[in-house]
Structure 1
Amino acid sequence: MASNELDPASSPLALFGAELRRIRSAQNLTLEQLAERIMFSPSLVGAIERATRRPGRDFVERCEEELGLSGELIRLWPLISKESSPKWFRSWTRIEQEARTLRTWEPLLVPGLLQTPGYARAVLSGEPGVSMERVEEMLEARLQRQILFQRQTPPMFQALIDESVLHRPIGGAEVMRQQLEHLLKQMAHPRITIQVVPLAVGSTTGLLGGFVIAQLGGAHDAVYLETANNGQVTDRMDDVDAVSLRYDAIRAWAHPLHVSENVIREMLVKYENR
């Protein structure tokens, strides 16, 4: 293998770069010609072919269209977008995709699988020193995870959120209005439930941090625990049992579904009037 050639087996990004170069060369296009067709810079196309830059979904879709492809590149997108996630989180994305049921508790933010692009972008932008390019990469990865709800048989998703989540104006009033409208729309999904834990409860066992419990078919269940730095993923039985008990304790305080929906609608009206 020449020194300037990629090993497609070395990473999903390398596989994409090698495939893009192969297709471009087969159509007798120079790097500059392809860049002109898809309206990206030649330097970016070259960096993506060398696997030193990660393409956005728009880049992949434009390549598919301009090269007359039938999914040869877009089929690689899930691999690339998962790679956009932090290394410590990638094992959880695999678990998430295999889960039959996901039960989550969030005391601070709307769960990632229920976030709108505007809300997620505002959350991700809050990381100290993060570049906008990196924010967009992480946003693409987060939105890609949400495709699991479009599967023929998506997992059951049971979300508990603290009422304070509805009051925290992440991204401003318009972003929150769109986010709350999205929550109400998702509540109509037959496999998604959202319950609000009222502020009046005061202290609960879940105030120290959010978590997700994944119930897997034919394997140990797993949990994801949020921390101030990197999250923790574990399938240790003692940890899973302890977190499951915590979830049940929090759910006992939650509003019923119809009351939770009314609480969200009341907050939506407040954001509409701001």
Structure 2
Amino acid sequence: MEREDPFLFIRDQLRRQRALRNMSQEEFGKRANYSASTVSAVETGTRLIDMPYAKRTDEILDTGGLFESLLRSAQDDAEPIWFKPWLEAERNARQLRCFEPMLIPGLLQTENYARAVLRLDDVRPEAEVEKRLAARMERQEILNRENPPQFVGVIDESALRRREAIMGEQLAYLLRMAELPHVHIHVIPLSAGLHVGLCGPLALAMLADGTWVGHMDDQLSGSPVGAEEGVAALLARWEAVRSIALPEDQSIALMKEIENQHGPQ
């Protein structure tokens, strides 16, 4: 039996809880600082509900965090099963380390860039793209929450020099994120030549007890790395790519130089 779409269930509950309070879409929108058209779009599914909308709904309808909880569960369901152990580690991390040789790290992607990346799988239905996109955007709240983890990202320069039109916006966003005191972005210059990081991306999370959890992606899936030997190997690779990356100020200068090549945003 096919499982009901959790986002459809949320939309049904939004309409039901609003109606139980004899509140029109227009009245709800005024209280929540959304237009009636936005409320309608969320309730009909033409716009996906995001976490700020869910939290505001809980406040207006006094539902005790119901919609925040439902949305978080639905977004987790939108992610593949193999990714969920890493999601848990990422949410509870005190420190995050991420290296990407070909793409911008997920936590630093704009909505347009993330959508384009998800659409690279041309057999993925558009509805799934949008669900995965909403989940990815929600993940980024980790870096904006109170008491966020320290994030250090290393990106190969080749990932910044893609010629797609979305890259100007993406580079501008990277530079804004780099202004946050807990976000540190380093770039491996093309002049570094071949390096061990070109074997693939990696991510590491340090939890509250000081233990590290790793994650690696491949073409089909990804896998958590928790065994001591595996984590030690990833930490060694992390140190290798971090050591050949430019210092933070030089990385920012390089990103600005590349951004300028895309013209004004």
Same fold, TM exceeding 0.5?
yes
**Residue 262 of structure 2 corresponds to which residue in structure 1?**
271
Name the SS for the 1:213 alignment partner. Answer: strand
Q: CA deviation at 1:41?
A: 10
Counterpart amino acid of 2:96? L
Report if aligned partners of 1:224, 1:233 keep a CA contact under 8 Å in 2: yes
Which amino acid is the alignment partner of residue 90 of structure 2? E
- Quick one: which of 212, 223, 228 aligns to 2:219? 228
Are 1:74 and 2:75 an aligned pair?
A: no
Distance 2:54 2:251 in 1: 42
On the 8 A contact 2:42/2:49 being kept in 1, the answer is no
> What secondary structure is seen at the aligned counterpart in 1 of 2:96?
strand
Give how far 1:23 is off.
3.0
Distance 1:57 1:242, change over 3 A: same
Judge conservation of contact 2:212–2:231 (CA < 8 Å) in 1: yes
In structure 2, what is the Cα distance between the partners aligned to 1:41 and 1:150? 24
Q: CA deviation at 1:19?
A: 5.2
- C-alpha displacement of 1:20: 4.9
* The one of 42, 49, 57 aligned to 1:57: 49
**2:147 aligned residue:** 153
Over 3 Å counting, the alpha-carbon distance change for 1:40 and 1:222 in structure 2 is same
Q: Which amino acid aligns with 1:144?
A: E
Match of 2:61, SS? coil
Query: What is the aligned partner in structure 2 of residue 185 from structure 1?
Result: 176
- Quick check: 1:60–1:73 contact (8 Å CA) kept in 2? no
Deviates more, 1:55-64 or 1:193-202: 55-64
Instruction: Tell me which of 85, 90, 104 is aligned to 1:96.
Output: 90
Q: Which residue of 2 aligns with 1:162?
A: 156
Which secondary structure does the structure 2 equivalent of 1:194 belong to?
strand
Corresponding residue SS for 1:272:
coil
| Corresponding residue number in structure 1 for 2:27 | none
Q: 1:58 to 1:220 in 2, by over 3 A?
A: closer
Shift of 1:74: 3.3
Q: 1:80 and 1:138 mapped to 2: Cα distance?
A: 10
Q: For residue 86 of structure 1, what is the amino acid of its counterpart?
A: P
Shift of 1:190: 0.5
Residues 95-142 of structure 1: per-residue CA shift (max 9 Å, x gap): 100001011110000000000001111111111311221111111000
- Separation of aligned partners in 1, 2:133 and 2:205: 22
Q: In structure 1, what is the Cα distance between the partners aligned to 2:41 and 2:181?
A: 41
| Equivalent in the alignment of 2:29 | none
Structure 1 spans left out of the alignment, 5+ residues: 1-5, 30-35, 46-54
| Root mean square deviation of aligned Cα | 3.4
Task: State how far apart, in whole Å, the 2-side matches of 1:17 and 1:268 are.
Answer: 40
> For the Cα contact (< 8 Å) 2:50–2:134, is it kept in 1?
no
The answer to whether the 8 Å contact 1:20/1:73 transfers is no
Q: Aligned match of 1:106 in 81, 94, 100? A: 100
TM-score normalized by the length of structure 1: 0.79
Q: Using the alignment, how far apart are the partners of 2:22 and 2:263 within structure 1?
A: 54
Whole-angstrom CA distance in 1 between matches of 2:90 and 2:55: 29
Structure 2 unmatched ranges of 5 or more: 24-35
* Mapped partners of 2:206, 2:192: distance in 1: 28
Identity %: 31
Cα distance, 1:220 vs structure 2: 3.3
Q: Counterpart of 1:97 in structure 2: which amino acid?
A: R
Contact 2:11 2:42 survives alignment (8 Å)? no
2:81 aligned partner: 87
